[in-house]
Amino acid sequence: MARWVSLLCNLGILCGLGLWPAMAQVKTKAVFVVTPPTSPYQEVAEGFRRLMGQTPDMEIRMAPLQGSPDEFRRNHESFLRSPAYTVVAVGADAYRTVRDQVEPSRTVAVLMAVPPGGPRHTISAVADPVQVLRLIGEMWGKNVRLSLLLGGSARSEEPVFQNAAQIHGMSLRTAVVTEAAQAVDVLKSLVDESDVFLLYPDPEVLTAVPPDAAIRYCHERRVVAAALFEGALRMGATLAFVPRYSEVPDILRQILKYPEQFAPVAYPGVERVVVNRSALAMIRLNPPPSKLKGVTIVFQ
């Protein structure tokens, strides 16, 4: 097909018929289903709004998630059903609302935890595991013992983190629990053999073991509770890796234009590491340095 288009252009046929300009003006179309403004998705949604004014080659519509899910589906059925539009669901509520209405091949989701059998592409609201583990190595060395607990719905994240650990030559113990009754015991066994416990925002695990309870046990064992979501700091986490949410709109733009070039999950980088001063006294490792390569570190 590409060879025929090239040949016809060389002959002046497409241009003469006025067909080439029409082909060149085909726009990528997307509708953003946006969860009401709550952190961390508010910054992502604002980035999408800025994107609307900066991409004349894309037709972008905003669809705030308002009213009941059924009401939303009725009001936006023409976009949800149209094969011309990619539906971008920002946040878990938005994804649940459109999940059964839109084929996975036309869905991109921005989520804290990657769903199994989910959309064609997910942009994680968790910072890039490769960068997170690099920063942990910079703070405490590559011999530090790491652990991570995931639920069955986030099982796909396990090889991602293991690959990140392998890249940096670090030791990472992981466990996947499929029954809530097992979660507490599995978490304790991981923490007992760790220096740093990675607290991942997996809804299944956080329901079975509330994050404040997991963090308290880390304190008892003098283990670093390294959260992958900023809200855990309010519960006493030792530190949190805050993603660079401003990168998400640019990642999305590239996914919409060149979907075949992207892996199923894309991660933003780390914008800053926030350290809880009061929790530092509860760990057996030395406090982290005041400066990190390429990332801001904030003590509060």
Q: What pLDDT shows up at residue 262?
A: 86
* Predicted confidence (pLDDT) at residue 26 exceeds the cutoff of 70: no
Q: What pLDDT shows up at residue 248?
A: 86
Q: Are 195 and 284 in contact (CB under 8 A)?
A: yes
* Predicted confidence (pLDDT) at residue 286 exceeds the cutoff of 60: yes
CA distance 13 to 93: 50
* Predicted confidence (pLDDT) at residue 60 exceeds the cutoff of 60: yes
Listed in sequence order, the residues at least 6 apart from 246 whose beta carbon sits closer than 8 Å to its beta carbon are 43, 47, 271
Listed in sequence order, the residues at least 6 apart from 240 whose beta carbon sits closer than 8 Å to its beta carbon are 226, 227, 228, 229, 230, 232, 233, 273, 274
Encoded tokens for 251: 């990642």
Alpha-helical segments (H) within the chain:
2-10, 13-17, 19-24, 41-54, 69-75, 77-81, 92-98, 129-140, 157-167, 180-192, 203-208, 211-220, 248-257, 277-280
Q: How many helices (H) and strands (E) does the chain have?
A: 14, 13
Q: Which domains does the chain have, with CATH numbers?
A: 26-124+247-266 (3.40.50.2300), 129-243+270-299 (3.40.50.2300)
φ/ψ of residue 73, rounded to 5: -60, -40
For residues 128 and 25, the model is more confident at 128
Residue 172 — pLDDT band, cuts 50, 70, 90? very high
Q: What is the pLDDT of residues 62-100, one digit of tens each?
A: 888 888 889 999 999 998 999 999 999 988 888 989 988
CA distance 283 to 288: 11
Arithmetic mean of pLDDT, 278-286? 92
Longest alpha-carbon distance in the chain: 77
Q: Is the pTM of this model over 0.85?
A: no
Arithmetic mean of pLDDT, 178-205? 92
Q: What is the pLDDT of residues 228-262, one digit of tens each?
A: 988 899 999 999 999 998 888 889 888 988 888 88
Taking CB atoms within 8 Å and a gap of at least 24, the contacts of 224-228 are 224/140, 224/195, 224/196, 224/197, 224/283, 224/285, 225/197, 225/199, 225/279, 226/132, 226/136, 226/196, 226/197, 226/198, 226/199, 227/199, 228/126, 228/127, 228/132, 228/198, 228/199, 228/200, 228/201
Q: What is the pLDDT of residues 114-162, one digit of tens each?
A: 777 778 899 988 999 999 999 999 999 999 999 999 988 788 899 999 9
